[in-house]
């Protein structure tokens, strides 16, 4: 089997090989081809198969039974095989044993999420169940107990759990608190916008804009915001 036929260009092949060197030694005709044939039979288009290979190359080498089980589990959630989110969800599910999956569900339940809410969030942002228990707990703790966000806001925006609390969220929270205390911005701003906006826009709109009016604002922000995130 030629990776070229699914990955289209050398750039994608290199990206896949960097993520999984197993592709260099595995017999792709024996290990990968049956899974690819199965994915295509189940309605996953060629471009989505390519996305799966690029996203997580090792998953295409999964045992057939594991692939079938994961496929059925994701289909049962109502995700469509021709959509990117289906591939992302399948990738996450293939990385987990049933024990690990159930443990992550129980972690979320212990944080007062219902199973319906957990699965709804997973469908919108599959990575939510790929994070460590520590990351899930610490993120939700900060949003609920420090920022005092309503639980439904997090459920509606599960990608918030993927943000770095120390590098992204806490600096923004500190800046917004200072600006609100000085009545430079209104306190009824939509928090989901403040958290999700790009780093560049947030810096321009809320840091550099008020830096002269609020001594130390830049230092407050940079104190915990120094990073190289590519979210601009």
Q: Could you report the per-residue pLDDT of 136-181, keeping only the tens digit for each?
A: 999 999 999 999 998 899 999 999 999 999 999 999 999 999 999 9
CB 136 within 8 A of CB 111: yes
Q: Is residue 187 part of a domain?
A: yes
Tokens of 164: 């770095």
Q: Is residue 60 part of a domain?
A: yes
Q: Is residue 216 part of a domain?
A: yes
Q: Is residue 230 part of a domain?
A: no
Alpha helices of 20-150 — where are they, by DSSP H? 22-25, 28-31, 33-41, 46-55, 64-75, 84-95, 98-110, 115-124, 133-141
What's the half-sphere exposure (Cβ side, CA atoms, 13 Å) at 105? 14
According to DSSP, residue 127 is labeled G
Question: Over the stretch 17-37, which tens digit does the pLDDT of each residue have?
Answer: 667 666 666 676 777 889 999
What number is the average pLDDT over the span 103-114? Answer: 95
Domain C-terminal end among 47, 69, 95: 95
Classify the C-alpha dihedral 124-129-135-141 as positive or negative.
positive
**30 and 87 share a domain?**
yes
Domain C-terminal end among 95, 119, 137: 95
Q: Is residue 231 part of a domain?
A: no
- Burial environment of residue 171 by CB neighbours within 10 A (0 to 12, 13 to 18, 19 or more): buried
CB 7 within 8 A of CB 53: yes
Give the domain extent around 216: 165-225
> What pLDDT sits at residue 53?
84
Domain C-terminal end among 117, 137, 162: 162
| Tally of domains within the chain | 3
Whether residue 228 has pLDDT greater than 60: no
* Whether this model's pTM surpasses 0.85: no
**89 and 31 share a domain?**
yes
> What pLDDT sits at residue 232?
38
Tokens of 30: 């024996």
């Amino acid at each position: 089997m030629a990776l070229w036929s699914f990955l289209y260009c050398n750039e994608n092949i290199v990206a896949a090989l960097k993520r999984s060197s197993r592709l260099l030694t595995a017999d792709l005709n024996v290990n990968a081809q049956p899974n690819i044939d199965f994915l295509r039979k189940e309605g996953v288009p060629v471009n989505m198969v390519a996305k799966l290979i690029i996203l997580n190359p090792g998953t295409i080498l999964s045992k057939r039974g594991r692939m079938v089980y994961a496929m059925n589990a994701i289909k049962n959630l109502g995700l469509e095989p021709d959509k990117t989110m289906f591939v992302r969800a399948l990738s996450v599910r293939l990385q987990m044993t049933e024990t690990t999956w159930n443990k992550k569900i129980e972690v979320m339940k212990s944080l007062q999420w219902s199973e319906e809410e957990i699965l709804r969030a997973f469908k919108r942002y599959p990575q939510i169940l790929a994070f460590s228990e520590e990351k899930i707990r610490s993120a939700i703790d900060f949003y609920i107990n420090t920022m005092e966000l309503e639980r439904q806001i997090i459920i509606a925006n599960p990608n918030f759990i993927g943000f770095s609390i120390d590098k992204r969220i806490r600096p923004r929270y500190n800046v917004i608190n200072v600006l609100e205390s000085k009545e430079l911005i209104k306190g009824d701003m939509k928090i989901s916008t403040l958290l999700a906006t790009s780093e560049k826009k947030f810096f321009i709109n809320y840091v550099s804009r008020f830096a002269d009016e609020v001594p130390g604002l830049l230092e407050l922000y940079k104190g915990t915001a120094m990073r190289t995130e590519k979210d601009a």
